[in-house]
Amino acid sequence: MTGSRELSGEDSLIVRYFKPLATDPGAFGLVDDAAILRTAGEDVVVKTDAIVEGVHFLPDDPPDTVARKALRVNLSDLAAKGAQPAGFVLTLALRRAEDSWLAPFARALGEDAGQFGCPLLGGDTVSTPGPAMISIAALGRVPAGKMVPRAGTKPGDWVMVTGTIGDASLGLDVLKGGVAAEALAGDIAAREMLIARYRVPQPRNALALALREHATAAMDVSDGLAGDLAKLCAASGVSATIDLPRVPLSAAAAGLIGRGVVSLPSLISGGDDYEVMCTVPDARRTEFVEAARQAGVAVAQIGAIVGGNEPPKFLDAQGTAVALQRLSYSHF
Amino acid sequence: MTGSRELSGEDSLIVRYFKPLATDPGAFGLVDDAAILRTAGEDVVVKTDAIVEGVHFLPDDPPDTVARKALRVNLSDLAAKGAQPAGFVLTLALRRAEDSWLAPFARALGEDAGQFGCPLLGGDTVSTPGPAMISIAALGRVPAGKMVPRAGTKPGDWVMVTGTIGDASLGLDVLKGGVAAEALAGDIAAREMLIARYRVPQPRNALALALREHATAAMDVSDGLAGDLAKLCAASGVSATIDLPRVPLSAAAAGLIGRGVVSLPSLISGGDDYEVMCTVPDARRTEFVEAARQAGVAVAQIGAIVGGNEPPKFLDAQGTAVALQRLSYSHF
């Protein structure tokens, strides 16, 4: 992203829409060719996640929610790793540069950058004949050696998860006119809540310090709780036992399950939750729960890490293991 | 990019093709959710550039050259900023995951990562119904405060440029069957050289230290020498006078100009050169040229920075200013 005296179309849209977001001195107001991040011996945490029109967001999703989702899916990873956001670079691939789309997109992106303390450092805008795609690489900071790993848990650790699970996949179902849309035809508030959960994740960055201090392993739940837990366990060579009745649900999700519209196993295999799953030793459990409370983030204890190499077990209220049809979402 | 015990399609292709590239300990073998870059008080330089099928590369370009171009357009920026490559994250948006494409793509990417000391730190693979796109965010290091800026030049500084200019745009013309293709119908060596210049940029990372020590301003030439020089001048509130006969050309490009097939003004407005343009004070000129020689990078002195706000002037052999039809490439 560059400024220039004789503005080409690309330069002009960058100055108009994105320069106001480049509030960090290391961004050089987007008039240089690269940005800098000053360091002082900490570890810089790097994460990139892209969202594609038709895959991660829908063509008629409002541009402000698309912007927020693009940044927040990356902020969610920084949160899970215990990192403090430092800034991000943006690749924006669009068919056309339309003011009516770019203005609300950039405004919302700037609001989120401010809210989460993660300023725009630079980027690239390119034209594409295909669907829009927004790729963000987010940078964060942790004290040296203190990133919360995916590996690191042991049998006996508790498995905790933030927020509620399954709302986003129900929101997508509502937007696509699926079973949840039919069942909630008369409940506009529930429909809107679920759609908002799909469109605008709520990354748990407030929990980063508590995770760094107490968690032995963590990752964000983006491809389904079941599959992501399997990955977390595999990284440490352990297994887990999850009590399905303890999985935190919104009232809307619980209601749909209660009415038999959807099943809990399908919700824990759905994507786009952007909650944090972590493991906490028993000795740290009370402190972690208290730190989470002070950070204003709801956490639920859903099970425990156990020894073994088999996939995690999900037990129903009767203690019977439930078979899952699929663990998570895969792109290929 | 994640590893797992029960490999989904996405995870499987990451393990197969990209894990071997994650040679840096901070990449955690791609089994964590983020990577780290250890720091020691230096500035981390961040740059992102994307290439889109049909825009920056052609659908039938070989996958190995696509990989090299994707990384090298970013390495070129790090070079111009005087930064030492530290690593990169990759977003790969593909219609399908095909071994026949991914295997040579990943192999070439790994070779370049090794050659330029810029290991893969992490990434994201997503499916797209549209054209393939490869977005890379590259990280580099410079001593604190020592990034070579785009602004910083003064009247009297010499304008220098590396390598040769215009070959890549001629290579694209050859691939598209344009005027250069016709004129070079009998010269397969020239055609192949020009195509290679389009497909595989030669970033001047060997020059980074010399730039940091001697240059007052620098940027890479990616959207055309003329337009990029105008941007460099605008950043410092100066102008420039360029002697067109001093612009370094390959024998093939010079021959095409000599035969009247293309004009020099069209070549300095063409894109994809990925050379470095910099400004050097007269007192540092000899040292810079010697440092470049030792680095094995050809540099040519093509003009000088002058006062004023008008666009740079391009003078022909008779000292007459040449009018340019366009300065550079713009996406929108």
Digit-coded pLDDT (tens) for A38-78: 999 999 999 999 999 988 899 999 999 999 999 999 999 99
Mode of pairing for the β-strands spanning A35-38 and B43-52: antiparallel
The reply to whether A186 falls in a domain is yes
A136 and A194 inside one domain: no
Residue A309 has pLDDT above 90, yes or no: yes
A76 and A121 inside one domain: yes
Task: Name the residue with higher pLDDT: A90 or A129.
Answer: A90
- CATH number of the domain that residue A209 is part of: 3.90.650.10
Instruction: Provide the pLDDT confidence category of residue B115 given band limits of 50, 70 and 90.
Output: very high
Cβ-contact B269, B151 below 8 angstroms: no
Cβ-contact B222, B150 below 8 angstroms: no
- CATH number of the domain that residue A18 is part of: 3.30.1330.10
CA triple A73-A22-A208, angle to 5 deg? 40
A310 CA: distance to closest CA in chain B (Å): 9
B105 and B29 inside one domain: yes
- Structural domain total, chain A: 2
What's A230-269 look like in SS3?
Answer: HHHHHHHCCEEEEEHHHCCCCHHHHHHHHCCCCCHHHHCC
- Write down which residue in A142, A167, A198 finishes a domain: A142
B136 and B192 inside one domain: no
The reply to whether A267 falls in a domain is yes
Taking contacts as CB-CB distances below 8 angstroms, the residues of chain B near A3 are 231, 234-235
B261 and B307 inside one domain: yes
Residue B302 has pLDDT above 50, yes or no: yes
Average pLDDT over residues A290-304: 98
**Residues with Cβ within 8 Å of residue A324, at least 6 apart in sequence:** A226, A265, A268, A269, A314
Residue B270 has pLDDT above 80, yes or no: yes
**What is the interface size between A and B, counted as CB pairs within 8 Å?**
280
**Residues with Cβ within 8 Å of residue B260, at least 6 apart in sequence:** none
The reply to whether A277 falls in a domain is yes
The reply to whether B152 falls in a domain is no
Residue B5 has pLDDT above 50, yes or no: no
Cα–Cα distance, A268 to A252 (Å, whole number): 15
Structure tokens at B325: 């039809």
What pLDDT, on a 0 to 100 scale, did the predictor assign at position B97?
A: 83
Which among B56, B130, B332 has the least Cβ separation from residue A129?
A: B130
Q: Which residue of A has its CA nearest to B34?
A: A47
A15 and A88 inside one domain: yes
Instruction: Provide the pLDDT confidence category of residue A329 given band limits of 50, 70 and 90.
Output: low
| Residue B282 CB coordination number (10 Å) | 10
Structure tokens at B288: 């810079």
Instruction: Look at B311 and A5 and tell me if their CB atoms are within 8 Å.
Output: yes
A128 and A206 inside one domain: no
How many helices and strands (H and E) does chain B possess?
11, 11
A13-17, A25-29, B285-289: the lowest-pLDDT one: A13-17
The reply to whether A21 falls in a domain is yes
Average pLDDT, chain A: 93
Q: Which residue of A has its CA nearest to B87?
A: A46
Instruction: Provide the pLDDT confidence category of residue A2 given band limits of 50, 70 and 90.
Output: very low
CA triple B47-B48-B53, angle to 5 deg? 150
Alpha-carbon distances, residue A282 vs A2, A107, A193, B329 (angstroms): 52, 44, 34, 60
**Residues with Cβ within 8 Å of residue B305, at least 6 apart in sequence:** B153, B154, B155, B156, B157, B158, B159, B233, B236, B238, B239, B240, B279
Residue B54 has pLDDT above 90, yes or no: no
> pLDDT for A160-215, tens place per residue?
999 999 999 999 999 999 999 999 999 999 999 999 999 999 999 999 999 999 99
Average pLDDT over residues B250-274: 96
Exposed, middle or buried by CB within 10 Å (0-12, 13-18, 19+), for B210? buried
Residue B37 has pLDDT above 80, yes or no: yes
Residue B189 has pLDDT above 50, yes or no: yes
A199 and A126 inside one domain: no
pTM above 0.80, yes or no: yes
Residue B187 has pLDDT above 70, yes or no: yes
Taking contacts as CB-CB distances below 8 angstroms, the residues of chain A near B37 are 43-44, 46
Instruction: Look at B46 and A121 and tell me if their CB atoms are within 8 Å.
Output: yes
Which among B41, B48, B80 has the least Cβ separation from residue A39?
A: B41
Cα–Cα distance, A256 to A254 (Å, whole number): 6
B179 and B127 inside one domain: no
Average pLDDT over residues B68-96: 96
Structure tokens at A190: 């529930």
B202 and B283 inside one domain: yes
Structure tokens at A112: 């989120």
What pLDDT, on a 0 to 100 scale, did the predictor assign at position A312?
A: 96
Exposed, middle or buried by CB within 10 Å (0-12, 13-18, 19+), for B19? middle
Q: What is the identity of the amino acid at B307?
A: G
Instruction: Provide the pLDDT confidence category of residue B307 given band limits of 50, 70 and 90.
Output: very high
Taking contacts as CB-CB distances below 8 angstroms, the residues of chain A near B331 are 9-10, 125-127
Which among B35, B38, B124 has the least Cβ separation from residue A49?
A: B124
Residue B22 has pLDDT above 50, yes or no: yes
> pLDDT for A231-242, tens place per residue?
999 999 999 999
The reply to whether A148 falls in a domain is no
Instruction: Look at B52 and A127 and tell me if their CB atoms are within 8 Å.
Output: yes
- What is the extent of the structural domain holding A294? 158-315
What pLDDT, on a 0 to 100 scale, did the predictor assign at position A6?
A: 33
What DSSP line would sit under A65-123, residue for residue? HHHHHHHHHHHHHHHHTTPEEEEEEEEEEESS--HHHHHHHHHHHHHHHHHTT--EEEE
Residue B214 half-sphere exposure toward CB, CA atoms < 13 A: 25
Average pLDDT over residues B87-100: 92
- Write down which residue in A108, A142, A176 finishes a domain: A142
Average pLDDT over residues B111-122: 97
B162 and B309 inside one domain: yes
- Write down which residue in B142, B168, B186 finishes a domain: B142
Q: Which residue of A has its CA nearest to B332?
A: A9
What pLDDT, on a 0 to 100 scale, did the predictor assign at position B127?
A: 86
What pLDDT, on a 0 to 100 scale, did the predictor assign at position B328?
A: 63
The reply to whether A321 falls in a domain is no
**Residues with Cβ within 8 Å of residue B107, at least 6 apart in sequence:** B64
Instruction: Provide the pLDDT confidence category of residue B329 given band limits of 50, 70 and 90.
Output: low
Residues of chain B above pLDDT 90, percent: 86
B93 and B180 inside one domain: no
Instruction: Provide the pLDDT confidence category of residue B130 given band limits of 50, 70 and 90.
Output: confident
